Chain A
Amino acid sequence: MAGAGGGGNDVQWCFSQVKGAIDDDVAEADIISTVEFNHSGELLATGDKGGRVVIFQQELESKNQPQCRGEYNVYSTFQSHEPEFDYLKSLEIEEKINKIRWLPQKNAAQFLLSTNDKTIKLWKISERDKRPEGYNLKEEDGRYRDPTTVTTLRVPVFHPMDLMVEASPRRVFANAHTYHINSISVNSDCETYLSADDLRINLWNLEITDHSFNIVDIKPANMEELTEVITAAEFHPNQCNTFVYSSSKGTIRLCDMRVSALCDQHSKLFEEPEDPSNRSFFSEIISSISDVKFSHSGRYMMTRDYLTVKIWDLNMESRPVETYQVHEYLRSKLCSLYENDCIFDKFECCWNGNDSVVMTGSYNNFFRMFDRGYRQDVTLEASRESSKPRSVLKPRKVCTGGKRKKDEISVDSLDFNKKILHTAWHPQDNIIAVATTNNLYIFQDKL
């Protein structure tokens, strides 16, 4: 097929940068657990299993090299969450950052929400590039001057200093979740956000940390009757009263907060009817939705289950409008994927800026892009081998049958430990961030 697909017939993806250690011995703490661009795309945040956040900033495009987009360099890094042990419940609380969500920028500072299993924190990232000097009562090193020795007065003046980027926790939203938080989503009203765990969804005001409102509760009176859990939730991008949540049974519920305080009754239920002849032991597990994302337009939403990506039109609940096979060849491997727990891997998905292409990860450090308009798809690989600056990525192909063509890889040779669960697409440009286990790859289209 012409070009490498993704974003039109002629988009070719090139390697730009890779962050992280090269060695194969990966420390648990270095496992990347979330990747997110901010609203302008200038900042790129990652969270890891060690509770740390690293933020990269895109350099301004240099006039000397108009062909290149700016590189992403480290802007700030901080420890967001620490491990805790809940002695009352005998529960270990991991410091792993499950999700990061940026707030739209309102002033000079940047704000993001980061969450682990139990606690959400609002972080302020601000720049300091000036320092006041010339105090009357303080020496430059901070020691206080004896007021009796002061004979003249001066006005302190701001002097430039080396840029310092400071991250400080402004709010801590704790103790509102009995179960493990899987999602956070900032409302378009920029005042509230939701947090979702396996059984409940809470609504918070960004200013208020000592209480939150429960808006969805699917916990059954008798836990023996538990049949499904909440897997992801997101606010609509422009309707502040609307949100969706997905379940482990493959359904998505859309709720309208104007209808009632407790949104246990959905306004819409999106579910694709299953062909009963296809039913198997694996059906429910592979239909569990691992991610749900609204399109930028708000007209569509995308869901990811184990084998497919589905696009839903919010106006049609009966079935998705598009279904894309991510790695259908895994159907013949479900038994071993169940045994090694890979069948429970939670892949995320994302839209490009104009909602024409969607992307998701797979195994063997492969990731897939589906162009909705041109009906093309491509498989690319994030690897050190194809990491020469500006080298064009070659499409990859997995072969299922007996005859393996040159350059194809057989299903049995796939490395299931190399999984790409987290990917992010720049809000405007064709720049993507792809996280392998402990490395962050940045690819750009060839200009």
Chain B
Amino acid sequence: MSSENLSDTPMEYEDEKQDSQEKNANLVKGEEVKLKAKYPGLGQKPGGSDFLMKRLQKGQKYFDSGDYNMAKAKMKNKQLPVAGPDKNLVTGDHIPTPQDLPQRRSSLVTSKLAG
């Protein structure tokens, strides 16, 4: 390889790298514009507290035994309100019951990997 070729290559590479980085940045910005167009109210803190809080609270269900027992006592004679279509959501007057919780049963079946 001649020395001329050698000195050209690093410069070209830097230019190309710059170009592809700009292209990448533009692609990502384009995606961001798309997202903001779909969800105009998207949080001020990107990837911040909201998403972290959601992550920390994974697995939270809303059965509250205190509420349940108080409600049972109060409504001795009346029928308990039945859970709405979305059983995982607790809203207003809905008193969650143990029946609303999905059945937690261990996997008694052997793993198919061992089959």
Contacts and interface: CB of A to CB of B under 8 A. Distances in A.
A179 B29 contact: no
A83 B104 contact: yes
Contact of B47 (A278, A281, A332): A281
A224 interface: yes
B35 A277 contact: no
Nearest to B103: A83
B112 A85 contact: no
B92 interface: no
A20 B111 CA distance: 8
A283 B28 CA distance: 9
A93 B46 contact: no
Interface in B18-71: 21, 24-25, 27-32, 34-36, 38, 42, 46-49, 51-53, 55-56, 58-65
B61 A50 contact: no
A74 interface: yes
Interface residues of A, number: 58
Contact of A95 (B36, B42, B107): B107
Nearest to B102: A92
Interface in A16-40: 19-21, 29-30, 32
A305 interface: no
Contact of B25 (A21, A51, A278): A278
B34 A335 contact: yes
A384 to B, nearest CB: 14
A91 B107 contact: no
Contacts of A328: 24
B73 interface: no
Contacts of B34: 335
A229 B56 contact: yes
Given A48-B113, A50-B111, A84-B104, 17 more contacts: A20-B113, A46-B111, A46-B113, A50-B107, A74-B114, A82-B106, A87-B65, A90-B64, A91-B60, A92-B60, A280-B28, A281-B47, A283-B28, A285-B51, A333-B31, A334-B28, A440-B113
Contact of B63 (A48, A90, A339): A90
Interface residues of B, number: 44
B109 interface: yes
Nearest to B48: A227
A144 interface: no
Contacts of B21: 275, 278
Contacts, number: 144
B105 interface: yes
Interface of B: 21, 24-25, 27-32, 34-36, 38, 42, 46-49, 51-53, 55-56, 58-65, 101, 104-115
13 contacts: A46-B113, A50-B111, A52-B107, A52-B111, A83-B106, A117-B59, A227-B52, A281-B35, A281-B42, A331-B28, A334-B32, A338-B35, A339-B38
A95 B49 CA distance: 27
Contact of B28 (A117, A224, A278): A278
Contacts of A277: 25
Contacts of A198: 55-56
Given A226-B52, A281-B32, A77 B114 contact: yes
Interface of A: 19-21, 29-30, 32, 46, 48, 50-52, 54, 74, 77, 79, 82-85, 87, 90-95, 117, 179-180, 198-199, 223-224, 226-229, 248, 275, 277-278, 280-285, 288, 328, 331-335, 338-339, 438, 440
Nearest to A86: B59
A51 B32 contact: no
A283 B29 CA distance: 10
B61 to A, nearest CB: 5
B56 A179 contact: yes
A328 B51 CA distance: 24
B31 A335 contact: yes
A95 B106 CA distance: 8
Nearest to A328: B24
Nearest to B36: A281
Contacts of A93: 59
Contacts of B47: 248, 281-285, 288
B110 A77 contact: yes
B114 A226 contact: no
B111 A280 contact: no
Nearest to B62: A90
Contacts of B29: 280
A226 B38 CA distance: 27
A47 to B, nearest CB: 10
B60 A334 contact: no
Contacts of A48: 111, 113
B49 A334 contact: no
B19 to A, nearest CB: 14
Nearest to A22: B112
Contacts of A90: 60-64
Given A90-B62, A227-B49, A83 B105 contact: yes
A94 B108 CA distance: 15
Nearest to A84: B104
